[in-house]
Amino acid sequence: MGMLDGKVAFITGGSRGQGRAHAVTCAREGADVVIIDTVEQISTVQYPMATQADIDETVSQVEALDRRIVAEVGDVRKQADLDRAVARGVAELGRVDILIANAGIFSLAPAHELSEEAWDDMIAVNLTGVWKSAKAVLPHMVEQGGGSIVMTSSINGLEPGANYAHYCSAKFGVVGLMKTLALEYAGRGIRVNSVHPGAILTPMTSWQGAWDMMSGKPAGEGTEEDMLDAGYGFHALKGNGFLSPQRIADAALFLNSDLASSVTGVTLPVDAGHLLLPGINMAPVK
C-alpha cells in the first residue's frame, strides 16, 4: 500500500528536476500523474528550458512504476493550458486530488538593472502561475469534497537574497497566496501548504550565473564544482551540500498524505538548517 494509493496528482513543471522527482515519487506511492511543462524558451531565462525529451523521460519513469500518466505541453502563464491539462487528467484518470505547483524560473540582476520583461516573466511564472494552477484544480477539489495543494516557494520566500528581488517577491507572494487559500478552502476540506527548498541541484540552479553567485567569484569565473562546494556553507547539517530534488519530493509526499491530514497553512522549510545560520556557515562539515 502506497501513501497516495488511488489518488491523482497534477504537477506543474513536471518534466525534470524537482518536478520529475515529484512525479516519480507520487507514482511510487500509488498515484496516477498529470504533468505540464513548457518547451518554449523564456527570453529572460539564461539557462535552457525543458525539452520534449525531458517530458518523455518523466513519462517513461512513471510508466515503469506501472502508473498512468497524462503529459501536456503548456505554459503556467496561460490559464487555458492549465485548464486543458486538468480537464484531460480528469477525463482519463477520473479525478484530481493533489496539486504540486512546482513550475518556476530563476534569473539574476541588481534591482535597478532588472528589465521590466524579466520582472514580469518572474512574477507571471512563479506567482501568477501558482494561482492559475490552483484555479484550474480548485473546482474539481470542491466538487470532490477535498484535496491537497503544495506550492513550491523557496527559502527566499522566507528570507531575502541579493540580486534577485523579482524572485524573492514572487516566492514571498506564494506564502501569502498559500495562507489565503488555506483559510478560504479549509471549510471545503482542501489543505494548502508551501514547501521551501534550500539549495537544490537542478537545471534551474546550475548555470554560469548561479556558479558565480554561490562561489563569490567574478562573472564568468565560477564553476559547477565551486558552486557545489559552496553548498556546504549554505547549509548547517553535516554532509549536506546541494540537496537532491528527492528531498523536496519527500516533503511534498508528507504534506499530501494522510500523515498530514490535519496540516494546512504551514510553511515547511527543507533547507538542511540554513535558516538556523546567523549568516553563512564559516566551518562547514562535509
> Is 224 part of any domain?
no
Q: Which pLDDT value is given to residue 285? A: 87
Q: Which pLDDT value is given to residue 104? A: 98
What would the grid cell of residue 97 be? 486530488
> Residue 34: beta bridge partners?
10, 70
- Angle at the Cα of 159 from the Cα atoms of 153 and 164, rounded to 5 degrees: 75
> Is 149 part of any domain?
yes
> Is 155 part of any domain?
yes
Q: Which pLDDT value is given to residue 31? A: 98
**CATH number reported for the structural domain that contains residue 156 in this entry:** 3.40.50.720
Residue whose grid cell is 507520487: 26
Alpha-carbon span 91 to 140, nearest angstrom? 12
Alpha-carbon span 64 to 66, nearest angstrom? 5
Alpha-carbon span 194 to 93, nearest angstrom? 25
Q: Which residues are catalytic?
A: 167
Query: Phi first, then psi: what are they for 12, rounded to 5°?
Result: -90, 150
Alpha-carbon span 185 to 144, nearest angstrom? 13
Which letter does DSSP use for residue 124 in this model? I
Three-state secondary structure call for residue 181? helix
**pLDDT tens series, the chain, 286 aa:** 899 999 999 999 999 999 999 999 999 999 999 999 999 999 999 999 999 999 999 999 999 999 999 999 999 999 999 999 999 999 999 999 999 999 999 999 999 999 999 999 999 999 999 999 999 999 999 999 999 999 999 999 999 999 999 999 999 999 999 999 999 999 999 999 999 999 999 999 999 999 999 989 999 999 999 999 999 999 999 999 999 999 999 999 999 999 999 999 999 999 999 999 988 777 788 8
Q: Which pLDDT value is given to residue 279? A: 80
The domain in which residue 147 lies consists of: 8-199+244-276
Name the pTM for this structure.
0.96
Which letter does DSSP use for residue 244 in this model? P
Choose among 202, 204, 235, 229: nearest CA to 214: 229
Half-sphere exposure of 184 (CA within 13 A, CB side): 11
> Is 234 part of any domain?
no
Angle at which helices 17-28 and 52-64 cross, to 10° = 20
Three-state secondary structure call for residue 25? helix
Cα–Cα distance list, 199 to 63, 96, 230 (Å) = 29, 30, 10
Looking at the structure of the chain, the number of domains it has is: 1
> Is 236 part of any domain?
no
Three-state secondary structure call for residue 97? coil
What would the grid cell of residue 230 be? 559552496
Cα–Cα distance list, 214 to 69, 157, 187, 200, 233 (Å) = 36, 18, 43, 12, 10
> Is 38 part of any domain?
yes
> Is 18 part of any domain?
yes
Q: Which pLDDT value is given to residue 187? A: 98
Alpha-carbon span 15 to 62, nearest angstrom? 11
Q: Which pLDDT value is given to residue 283? A: 78
Three-state secondary structure call for residue 11? strand
> Is 194 part of any domain?
yes
